[in-house]
C-alpha cells in the first residue's frame, strides 16, 4: 500500500509519519507539507508512483481536496477532522472524501484499521461527521430535494448496504451475488446520481431526502 500525507503542521505531520512507518502493509510513504511538495516528490520518483490513500488534514481544506481528486483520481482520500464544531464538520463533509477520521482518535491501530477499510472499499466515517450529516438531513438544512432516478429493487438493496458503509465484498455476501455483480450494481448506483465516490453518495442521500428512494 502506498500512502501520502498532506499536513502543514509539522508536529502532526511528524506524528503521523512515525505511526504510519510502523504499519508493515505500507510500502511507500510520502509525508509533505503542501501539494506542491508532494508533486515534487512524485517527480523525484520518476512520476511512476501513485498513492493508494492520500491523508489530507482539515487544516488544508478549501479546494485542496478537489485538487487532490483531480490530480490523483485513482487515490482514496482520507480527511483528518480536527474539531467537532458544526462549522468544521460542514467544511469536512463538503470534501466528499472516501473516509473521515477524527484527529484525537488517531492511534497506530486506528490508522491501520481505517486504511484497511478504505482499501477494501468501505467508507470509514468518524461518528461526529456521520451525526452531523444525519442531523442536517433531519433538520432540513440541506438543499431542496431533487427528483431521484429510478433504482431497481436490487439496486435499492445495494443502496441500503452502501449507507451501512459495507464494502463491495460485504455487499456481495449479504445480497448473495458475485463480487463482480456487486461492483456493477454499485457503479450503476453512483453513476445514476453522478457521485464521484461512495462517501459523496452517502452524504448526498442523507442530505437530500432522508433516503426515500424511487423504485418499482
Q: What is the pLDDT of residues 147-193, one digit of tens each?
A: 456 678 888 888 888 888 788 888 899 999 998 888 888 888 887 77
Distance CA 80, CA 114 (A): 11
pLDDT of residue 140: 54
User: Smallest Cα–Cα separation from 3: which of 67, 81, 59, 56?
Assistant: 56
- Percentage above 90 pLDDT, the chain: 9
According to CATH, what is the number of the domain 2-137? 3.40.50.2300
Q: Are 100 and 126 in contact, with CB atoms under 8 Å apart?
A: yes
Q: Residue 144 pLDDT more than 80?
A: no
Residues 6+ apart with CB under 8 A from 106: 15, 16, 19, 80
Q: Residue 146 pLDDT more than 50?
A: no
Q: Residue 135 pLDDT more than 80?
A: no
Residues 6+ apart with CB under 8 A from 177: 154, 185
| Across 53-62, 122-131, 140-149, 165-174, least confident range | 140-149
| Across 32-36, 62-66, 105-109, 171-175, least confident range | 62-66
CATH 1.10.10.10 maps onto the chain at 142-209
The mean pLDDT value of the chain amounts to: 77
**Helix runs in the chain, H state only:** 10-21, 35-44, 64-71, 86-93, 108-119, 127-139, 153-163, 168-175, 179-192, 198-209
Domain over 142-209 is classified CATH 3.10.129.10 = no
Q: Are 163 and 137 in contact, with CB atoms under 8 Å apart?
A: no
pLDDT of residue 17: 93
Give, in order, the Cα–Cα distances in Å from 147 to each of 64, 129, 133, 193: 30, 26, 20, 10
Question: Using one digit for the tens of pLDDT, what is the confidence trace for 95-107?
Answer: 767 888 888 888 9
Q: Residue 77 pLDDT more than 90?
A: no
- What's the alpha-carbon Rg for the chain, to the nearest Å? 18
CATH 3.40.50.2300 maps onto the chain at 2-137
Q: Are 124 and 132 in contact, with CB atoms under 8 Å apart?
A: no
Range picked from 2-11, 63-72, 142-151 for highest mean pLDDT: 2-11
The structure's pTM equals 0.62
Residue-wise over 26-63: b if at least 16 C-beta within 10 A, else e?
A: beebbbbeebeebeeebeeeeeeeebbbbbbbbebbee
Query: Containing H/E element for 56?
Result: strand 53-57
The pLDDT confidence band at residue 136, using thresholds 50, 70 and 90, is low
Amino acid at each position: 500500500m502506498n500512502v501520502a500525507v498532506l499536513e502543514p503542521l509539522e508536529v502532526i505531520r511528524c506524528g503521523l509519519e512515525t505511526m504510519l512507518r510502523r504499519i508493515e502493509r505500507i510500502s511507500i510513504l510520502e509525508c509533505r507539507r503542501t501539494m506542491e511538495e508532494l508533486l515534487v516528490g512524485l517527480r523525484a520518483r520518476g512520476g511512476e508512483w501513485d498513492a493508494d490513500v492520500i491523508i489530507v488534514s482539515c487544516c488544508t481544506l478549501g479546494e485542496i481536496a478537489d485538487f487532490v481528486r483531480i490530480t490523483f483520481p485513482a487515490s482514496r482520500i482520507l480527511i483528518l477532522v480536527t474539531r467537532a464544531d458544526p462549522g468544521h464538520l460542514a467544511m469536512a463533509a463538503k470534501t466528499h472524501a472516501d473516509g473521515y477520521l477524527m484527529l484525537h482518535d488517531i492511534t497506530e491501530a486506528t490508522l491501520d484499521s481505517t486504511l484497511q477499510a478504505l482499501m477494501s472499499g468501505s467508507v470509514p466515517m468518524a461518528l461526529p461527521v456521520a451525526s452531523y450529516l444525519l442531523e442536517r438531513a433531519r433538520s432540513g438544512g440541506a438543499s431542496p430535494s431533487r427528483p431521484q432516478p429510478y433504482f431497481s429493487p436490487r439496486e435499492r438493496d445495494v443502496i441500503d448496504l452502501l449507507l451501512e458503509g459495507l464494502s463491495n465484498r460485504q455487499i456481495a455476501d449479504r445480497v448473495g451475488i458475485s463480487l463482480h455483480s456487486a461492483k456493477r450494481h454499485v457503479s450503476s448506483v453512483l453513476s445514476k446520481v453522478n457521485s464521484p465516490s461512495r462517501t459523496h453518495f452517502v452524504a448526498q442521500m442523507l442530505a437530500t431526502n432522508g433516503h426515500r428512494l424511487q423504485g418499482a
